Amino acid sequence: MDITTPKGTYDIIPDEVDPSLMWRQSYLWHYVETIFSKNAKNFGFDEIRTPLFERTELFKRGVGEGSDIVSKEMYTFDDKGGRSMTLRPEMTASVMRAFVEKSLHNISSVHKLFYIGPMFRYDRPQAGRYRQFFQFGVEAIGNACPEQDAEVIDLLFSICKDLGLNNLMLNINSVGDKESRANFSQALKEFLTPKKDKLSLDSQNRLLNNTLRILDSKDPKDHEALIGAPSLNDFLNEESKENFAKVLRLLDSLEIPYHINEKLVRGLDYYNKTVFELTTSSTGSQNAIGGGGRYDGLMKTLGGQDLPSVGFAIGIERILQAMIQQNVDLPAKPSADLYIIALGDLASNFAFKLTHDMRKASKIVEMDFSSKKLKDRLKIADQRRAKKVLIIGDDELKNNKAELKDMLLRTSQEVSLSSIKDSFL
Ligand code: AMP
């Protein structure tokens, strides 16, 4: 077939035969998404859904024109009305937009929101990096206190623990408030400008508008140029320092392991104070499962109230890949509790209604519609991993009887049709 999925995208399907692609099976997605939302609800977060595309201006203002996302990776197009639209590359800006647009601050001064959905970034596809990928994320709006930062990180760990993930490490840092950040950024710019030629091409471009981002670079040339550079920590004011120390004390009290990484600034412009990234040893070069931090000025930038916020986003692909690499116990794919095969017209009519009734008892019940030989129909039941098969013939029906096969034990017994209904309903 010459029409295939666009580069950097993939299908999530019920059965995947290639073991390295097992993470693309839809029942596993359903499983992790259930764990995400269950944990988020336990922590008092409510779901928010926003459009997959927004006005381009939202991301330019909300994410920042100097960021890689906005400068290089957005799927931007003009709609038929000539308006510039962008497929959302992340959701924080969209959540803030919705909050401001719906004046949610009038309903409550604190809002805790979670989302699950696809994001789009035009990046070079590789393992763990796609052009359409899925994120689960949260935004806690309205609290500026360190407890809120620690609660959000606690939720992140609670999810990972429920999913059975191991070898997790939280890299954490404080980028200070706006003033500390600006002072540090200026000092770094002054330190690096004379060494501009020694920087990678990407970092040379970042020097002017996104200087802090150079700290995140993986290029050895940049690492060398940064030797002896001023430290962000020295520029934090007392309030930022105290705030960060309190976040760490709270994490200690919850026994959440972390590593203070002074070079961590995160890629987006809107962060202040706490920033963090969660890594695992099992996802190779793309080892960040998720990240987040505080962005107190963002809502105001988008024309709303000056409400503080903190949140994170995790990539569902990388979570599932890590689970599989770590051999985490995965749930079995749900399959039919009962597979009904009717032999004859009368039996078929009866079985059709019986199938309908059985489903009311929340059982997974399937009916075989083929007119193949019994042997072949049993083969289909096996392929569909049915636990039990009920075979009803016209003659048996007259006597209210049927044959019930246990497909796991490979046994079979005669049952009365009224009792089979009772045992399920
Ligand atoms: P970010 O929004 O860039 O902070 O990313 C948060 C998380 O989303 C990352 O740690 C990844 O798990 C996931 N993520 C970001 N970009 C991609 C991508 N292109 N493909 C797959 N996952 C991604």
Element of type H or E holding 182: helix 178-192
Distance 315 CA to ligand 1 centre (A): 5
Specify the residue with its C-alpha closest to ligand 1, atom 9: 290
Hey, which of 73, 119, 138, 159 would you mutate to test ligand 1's pocket, going by the most ligand atoms within 8 Å of its Cβ? 119
SS3 295: coil
Phi, psi (degrees; rounded to nearest 5) at 176:
70, -175
Q: Looking at residues 131-137, what average pLDDT do you find?
A: 98
Cβ contact 402:392 at 8 Å: yes
| CA atoms of 229 and 211, how far apart (whole Å) | 12
Instruction: Tell which residue, 141, 95, 151, has the closest CA to residue 119.
Output: 95
The residue whose CB lies within 8 Å of the most ligand 1 atoms, and thus the one to mutate among 74, 133, 170, is 133
Label residue 233 by pLDDT band (50, 70, 90): confident
pLDDT of 267 higher than 90: no
CB 402 within 8 A of CB 338: no
Alpha-carbon gap, residue 152 to 291, rounded angstroms: 11
Of the candidates 118, 127, 95, which has an alpha carbon nearest to the alpha carbon of residue 33?
118
Which atom, in ligand 1's list, is nearest to the CA of 129?
Answer: 20
CB distance 249 to 274 below 8 Å: no
**Segment 181-202, tens digit of pLDDT:** 888 889 999 999 999 899 998 8
8 Å CB contact between 324 and 23: yes
Ligand 1 center from residue 120 Cα (angstroms): 10
CA distance 16 to 20: 9
Helix (H, G, I), strand (E, B) or coil at 205: helix
- The predicted pLDDT at position 161 comes to 95
Chain position carrying tokens 């191991």: 166
Rounded to two decimals, the pTM is: 0.92
d(Cα 33, Cα 158) in Å, to the nearest integer?
A: 14
pLDDT (tens digit per residue) in 297-341: 899 999 999 999 999 999 999 999 999 999 999 999 999 999 999
User: In a 10 Å sphere around its CB, with 0-12 CB exposed, 13-18 middle and 19+ buried, how is residue 413 labelled?
Assistant: exposed
Spatial contact of 182 and 221, defined as CB atoms under 8 Å apart: no
Mean per-residue pLDDT, 22-41: 97
CB distance 289 to 201 below 8 Å: no
Q: Which atom of ligand 1 is nearest to the CA of 314?
A: 7
DSSP 346: H
Cα dist from 352 to 220, 346, 368, 381, whole Å: 67, 10, 10, 16
**Which of the listed residues 7, 23, 276, 318 should we mutate to test ligand 1's pocket, taking the one with most ligand atoms within 8 A of CB?**
318
Q: Please name which of 345, 381, 385, 322 lies closest in space to residue 165, comparing C-alpha atoms.
A: 322
Proportion of the chain above pLDDT 70, given as a percent: 98
- Alpha carbons 59 and 70: distance in angstroms, whole number: 7
> What is the rounded average pLDDT of the residues 140-149?
97
* Residue nearest atom 17 in ligand 1 by C-alpha distance: 129
Let me know: does 277 contact 288? Beta carbons within 8 Å: yes
131 CA: nearest ligand 1 atom: 19
pLDDT value at residue 282: 65
pLDDT band, residue 285 (cuts 50/70/90)? low
Please give all residues whose beta carbon lies within 6 A of any atom in ligand 1, as ranges.
Answer: 90, 121, 123, 128-130, 133, 135, 267, 288-291, 313-315, 317-318
Which atom in ligand 1 lies closest to the alpha carbon of residue 318? Answer: 12
Closest Cα to atom 12 of ligand 1: 315
Q: How many CB atoms within 10 Å of residue 83?
A: 11
Residue 203 has pLDDT above 60, yes or no: yes
Strand residues in 249-324 grouped as ranges (E): 258-260, 272-280, 288-294, 309-315
Count, residues in the chain: 425
Owner of token pair 């997974």: 364
Distance CA 100, CA 219 (A): 39
Spatial contact of 28 and 320, defined as CB atoms under 8 Å apart: yes
User: What is the overall mean pLDDT for the chain?
Assistant: 92
First to last CA, the chain: 46
Tell how strand 365-367 and strand 401-406 pair up.
unpaired
CA distance linking residue 382 with residue 386, whole number of Å? 6
Mean pLDDT of 331-355: 95
